């Protein structure tokens, strides 16, 4: 029943055009098979690592917004050492968090590549004391641990002399007015994407900066087909002017359920993508876990961002968040990984997920909820309730079931204090058959 409801829902949303995804050129049914691992992954780790960590300023935007001059920004090249960089330790930490994929900034809008690009342009390998390609070893360590490899790549390159604009109020030229120059830039960025594709064969490309030009100007179709020719299973995020596979809301947890087939919320642990000394606005493990459950409940993935220092060390607060998230994930794995989006709002006041076969409903209890919780409009019989990760059996009571009405009774479950989790308790409700919901207004309907 729920499956039918979900596919009907899918059909309806396909017919309606939505702002960000309205010009989507990819057919959901064609890409569905390759999206399987992504759909089950739920958690990815985003890493913004670049020369901006030297001063601890906004990645690329700081010179674009004139907080610092471009020459001063580029002086950070001299301070990027990667002296404590330990790609195996990074990959271990990511594995510990429970994440199934990781996305590293191979090149941000500032144009500095993390690999040894063959193009005549900035790279960590050629232009910094780190003197090496830092991408190759990281990807190798991820693959050893079965973690999917993602490549963030900025289409915008504000440091490239052939790029049209690099400060917020300046433009060197307009792409339409100097086709020769724009074509030079296009062949440059296409070559860099080819390098990434051929050398690293990422499982996922995470493009950024598409907003500065149209799909035709970016040759989005050529970018997409080039990547898929090399690897038909590569996943492409939605920042390619309509030629991506999934949507990428940023920094804000959706309040209502997004209407996309696949989506991923990217979010920072403090307030910034890259390392910034002054930013101490750390989200707590409890907050991250609650918003992660919220995202998964709405059918999305969380791409949680960390910003290593220039030397490659990861701030302690981020390490803690990843480890705590990891131990919570380990305990509650069955309620998160490989599940589907939960029941619609209104039945239970908290996040929920549903097992693939739709016969187990998982309830995520906010804060340190204990005592009685309540579910409305669940038509199923409950066979069994357990506290996930603990195995404690809980009892329930059906209240107010009126014999002549189709409306199910209210289900009350007793949650004793001794069964609550440090961060978020999860209950597994084994049902007699796939989830069946009463969606009416009460009474005779």
Compute the least distance from the CB of residue 79 to ligand JFZ, in Å.
20
Compute the least distance from the CB of residue 57 to ligand JFZ, in Å.
12
Quick one: CA torsion of 399, 400, 402, 408, rounded to 10 degrees?
Answer: -60
Say how far apart CA 307 and CA 272 lie, in whole Å. 8
Compute the least distance from the CB of residue 152 to ligand JFZ, in Å.
7
Q: How many residues in the chain?
A: 445
Nearest to 76 by CA among 104, 61, 48, 56: 56
Interacting residues with ligand JFZ (CB under 6 A)? 59, 61, 208, 211, 250, 266, 273
> Which residue, 212 or 414, has its beta carbon nearer to ligand JFZ?
212
Residues 6+ apart with CB under 8 A from 201: 230, 231, 234
Nearest to 353 by CA among 294, 404, 399: 294
Say how far apart CA 381 and CA 395 lie, in whole Å. 13
Residue the block writes with tokens 């960000």: 20
Compute the least distance from the CB of residue 211 to ligand JFZ, in Å.
6
SS3 372: strand
Compute the least distance from the CB of residue 68 to ligand JFZ, in Å.
15
SS3 391: coil
> Which residue, 73 or 348, has its beta carbon nearer to ligand JFZ?
73
Half-sphere exposure of 435 (CA within 13 A, CB side): 29
> Which residue, 64 or 282, has its beta carbon nearer to ligand JFZ?
64
CB-nearest residue to ligand JFZ: 273
> Which residue, 112 or 341, has its beta carbon nearer to ligand JFZ?
112
Compute the least distance from the CB of residue 133 to ligand JFZ, in Å.
21
> Which residue, 238 or 315, has its beta carbon nearer to ligand JFZ?
238
> Which residue, 114 or 378, has its beta carbon nearer to ligand JFZ?
114
């Amino acid at each position: 029943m729920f499956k039918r409801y979900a596919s009907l829902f899918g059909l309806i949303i396909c017919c309606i055009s939505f702002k960000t995804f309205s010009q989507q050129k990819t057919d959901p049914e064609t890409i569905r098979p390759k999206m399987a691992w992504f759909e089950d992954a739920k958690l990815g780790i985003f890493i913004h690592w670049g020369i901006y960590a030297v001063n601890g300023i906004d990645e690329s935007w700081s010179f674009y917004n004139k907080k610092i001059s471009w020459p001063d920004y580029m002086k950070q090249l001299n301070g990027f050492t990667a002296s404590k960089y330990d790609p195996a330790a990074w990959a271990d930490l990511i594995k510990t968090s429970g994440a199934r994929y990781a996305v590293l900034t191979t090149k941000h809008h500032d144009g500095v590549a993390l690999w040894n690009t063959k193009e005549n342009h900035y790279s960590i390998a050629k232009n910094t004391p780190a003197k090496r390609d830092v991408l190759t070893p990281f990807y190798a360590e991820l693959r050893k641990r079965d973690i999917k490899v993602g490549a963030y790549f900025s289409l915008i390159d504000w440091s490239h002399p052939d790029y049209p604009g690099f400060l917020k109020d300046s433009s060197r030229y307009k792409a339409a007015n100097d086709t020769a120059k724009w074509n030079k830039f296009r062949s440059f960025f296409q070559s860099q994407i080819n390098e990434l594709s051929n050398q690293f064969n990422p499982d996922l490309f995470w493009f950024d900066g598409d907003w500065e030009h149209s799909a035709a100007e970016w040759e989005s179709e050529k970018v997409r087909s080039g990547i898929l020719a090399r690897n038909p299973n590569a996943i492409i995020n939605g920042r390619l002017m309509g030629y991506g596979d999934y949507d990428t809301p940023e920094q804000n947890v959706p309040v209502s359920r997004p209407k996309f087939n696949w989506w991923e919320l990217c979010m920072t642990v403090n307030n910034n993508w890259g390392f910034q000394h002054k930013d101490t606005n750390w989200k707590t493990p409890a907050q991250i876990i609650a918003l992660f459950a919220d995202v998964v409940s709405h059918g999305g993935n969380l791409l949680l961002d960390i910003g290593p220092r220039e030397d490659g060390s990861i701030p302690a607060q981020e390490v803690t968040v990843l480890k705590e998230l990891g131990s919570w994930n380990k305990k509650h794995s069955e309620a998160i990984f490989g599940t589907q989006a939960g029941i619609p709002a209104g039945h239970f006041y908290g996040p929920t997920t549903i097992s693939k076969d739709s016969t187990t409903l998982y309830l995520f209890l906010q804060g340190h909820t204990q005592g009685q919780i309540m579910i409305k409009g669940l038509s199923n019989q409950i066979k069994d309730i357990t506290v996930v990760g603990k195995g404690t059996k809980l009892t329930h009571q059906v209240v107010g079931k009126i014999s002549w009405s189709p409306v199910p009774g209210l289900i009350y479950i007793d949650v004793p204090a001794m069964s609550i989790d440090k961060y978020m308790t999860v209950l597994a409700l084994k049902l007699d058959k796939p989830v069946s919901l009463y969606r009416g207004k009460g009474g005779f309907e």
